[in-house]
Structure 1
Amino acid sequence: MKFDDYKKQPLFWNGIIMTVITVAILPLLFLDTRTLLGANVWIKPLKFTLSVGLYSMTTVWVMVKFLKGWKFNGKIQMALTITSFIEIVLITLQASRGEMSHFNITTVWNQIIFSIMGVSISIFWVLHLWMGYNIFKKESISRSIKESLVWGMVIAGFGMVIGFFMTSPRPDQLEAMKQGIFVASGSHQFGSGDPGAGILFFGWSTKLGDMRVPHFFGMHVMQVFVFLAAYLMNKQDSILNQTLVRILGVLFLLINLFMVIQTLNGESIFHFNPFFSSVYGILSLLIVFCLIKIISIPKQFRNEVTI
């Protein structure tokens, strides 16, 4: 695939823009010492630009390689670019103001920003699933590659939906709203008490349930499956290959589901729990086994004669 093919794609330029914004934010981490919830105000936009940039660059490869002839290709890419860019602009704007971008309903302006972000990411999610559906029904894609792409997009879609757990207002917040007190609507934290020291850079709680962990995991498992699809392009397509990829999809989805359950129970993924830790360990071993089996499958044979 020629580089010129990518230069025509909106998502490619979205990835480039995210890279530029990331580079621009980095000096602010040292120049601006303001903190919000214990972290530098610029950490959050930095995390989001990195995430959106990674999504854009992997997704544009999928769109060019497998959906190039789809009549909605360019429009979907443009819509994904616009909605994600809106998200980044608003998060960065709030960071510059020293305000929370998510869950913040302290003022009318903050409520509007939070609402726009919610609408924007909802549109993004629908378009993401539509793209996955069109890959699923495209018959020209080999079975194992299609299996990998679809599982990646489905789990990423599930990871995005997890975000709605965080935006739902809690009972105490609803009670405060009834009394005319508007502070927050939702939270990434589940459980009560000391959240403990946050994981470096990410800020994820090590004690209480933090829904950002399964949210992040689900969204970026997609990249694992996209890279796997690229690897499978040089492998023989077979029922065994397809089955192994399907098992991988189920295993990754199960890990994500158990992460959500543990978080809803108010417990951090990083807190040792005999049951959950054992489940993660067993599922991870099975994932490694499936990946080794896929790697051990011989490369695709070519019936070409050199003269």
Structure 2
Amino acid sequence: MRTWYRPLVVFSGLMAVTALVSAVGLLVDDRVLLGAPIWLKPLKFSISFVAFGLSWAWLLSLPRRRPRFLGGTAWVIIAASVLEMVIIIGQVVRGKQSHFNTTTAFDAMLFSVMGATVAVLLLATLVLSVYIAARRLAPAAELLAIRFGMAISLLGMAVGILMTTASSGVEGITGAHSVGVVDGGPGLPLTGWSTTGGDLRAPHFIGMHALQLLPLLALAIRRRGERASIRIVWATSLGYLGLVVLTTWQALRGQPLFEPDWVTGTAFGVLAFGVALGVLSARNQPEVSAQPAEAERIPS
């Protein structure tokens, strides 16, 4: 980690601190908002930002020569993320809903600022992704996983935009996590995802964390040989992309994540079968040791 981009490592450390503060808040503050402990939202956001920050700290360490604009873009991401967390925690302290809250002029202003930070975060992450994806900074299978991870992560972030268009059914609340039911109803443990209707937080979460899961998969299978690893990464990455699309479609149709209808269940079965077939086919590939794609790559 000594070679990782330090500002993002420090940012991740800061988010770990806010996660700890939020965890303490869960223990000492019994307030509930929308059916969940009020400190649960900043805890989930903090953990997510820790993973996001460390992932990009690693990715920005891969180029041997890092252009200045990459550092500037990373600082934009840090600033936008910190501002969003300040608003989320500030609203928790006030006992108010942060997302979609337009009940007062002040709350509406805060939500507008959050919307702007999300847009900036998405655009800045796209800039970094395009730069990293355009260069051969890792062995083929790992590079493929990085490219898919960045692309699917951006798609997962974009799913959040759909929440701003969902109907809340509540005056003064513009947008919703749930589809077909009002936010704050029965939900899954920890995540709070609705168990009575669709919930766009599921594909949002699944998509964003492709940035961590797919590169970790590539690292875990690197000893299988380059050709086999590439086949496995292709199969799992396409399957992961299909899962994000499928769960988004499921949520928009008002179905709880673990209570799909037969159409969604059949689509998931076909998707799982395709991934399994692709992974099993990799067994027939001759072993070829993975080598760095070019000298620009530096060890992680």
Bin of the TM-score, shorter chain as denominator length: 0.7 to 0.9
Q: Please tell me whether residue 206 in structure 1 is matched to residue 205 in structure 2.
A: no
- In the TM superposition, residue 52 of structure 1 has moved relative to its aligned partner by 0.6
| Alignment match of 1:100 (pick from 97, 100, 114) | 97
Q: 2:32 corresponds to which residue? A: 35
Q: 1:276 corresponds to which residue? A: 264
Q: 2:172 corresponds to which residue? A: 183
- In the TM superposition, residue 168 of structure 1 has moved relative to its aligned partner by 1.9
Aligned-CA RMSD value? 2.7
Secondary structure of 2:118 counterpart: helix
| Deviation digits for residues 243-286 of structure 1 (CA, Å, limit 9, x no counterpart) | 44233222111111111111111111111422212322442354
Q: How many equivalent pairs are there?
A: 290
Amino acid at match of 1:118: G
| Deviation digits for residues 20-50 of structure 1 (CA, Å, limit 9, x no counterpart) | 1111221211211111011111000000000
- In the TM superposition, residue 297 of structure 1 has moved relative to its aligned partner by 7.1
Q: Distance in 2 between matches of 1:111 and 1:193?
A: 20
Q: Please tell me whether residue 143 in structure 1 is matched to residue 140 in structure 2.
A: yes
Q: 2:233 corresponds to which residue? A: 245
Q: Call closer, same or farther: CA 1:161–1:301 in 2, change over 3 Å.
A: closer
Note the 1:95-174 alignment, pairs <5 A.
95-168=92-165, 170=167
Secondary structure of 2:195 counterpart: coil
Q: Contact conserved, 2:226 with 2:290, CA < 8 A, in 1?
A: no
Q: Contact conserved, 2:34 with 2:183, CA < 8 A, in 1?
A: no
Q: Percent identity?
A: 27
| Alignment match of 1:228 (pick from 205, 211, 217) | 217
Q: 2:3 corresponds to which residue? A: 5
Q: 2:251 corresponds to which residue? A: 263
Q: Contact conserved, 1:235 with 1:297, CA < 8 A, in 2?
A: no
- In the TM superposition, residue 210 of structure 1 has moved relative to its aligned partner by 0.7
Gaps of 5+ in 2: 292-300
Gaps of 5+ in 1: 174-181, 303-307
Q: 2:206 corresponds to which residue? A: 217
Q: Call closer, same or farther: CA 1:234–1:209 in 2, change over 3 Å.
A: same
Amino acid at match of 1:4: R
Q: Distance in 1 between matches of 2:194 and 2:217?
A: 31
Amino acid at match of 1:274: W
Q: Call closer, same or farther: CA 1:18–1:301 in 2, change over 3 Å.
A: closer
Q: Please tell me whether residue 61 in structure 1 is matched to residue 58 in structure 2.
A: yes
Q: Distance in 1 between matches of 2:206 and 2:48?
A: 11
Secondary structure of 1:65 counterpart: coil
- In the TM superposition, residue 183 of structure 1 has moved relative to its aligned partner by 0.6
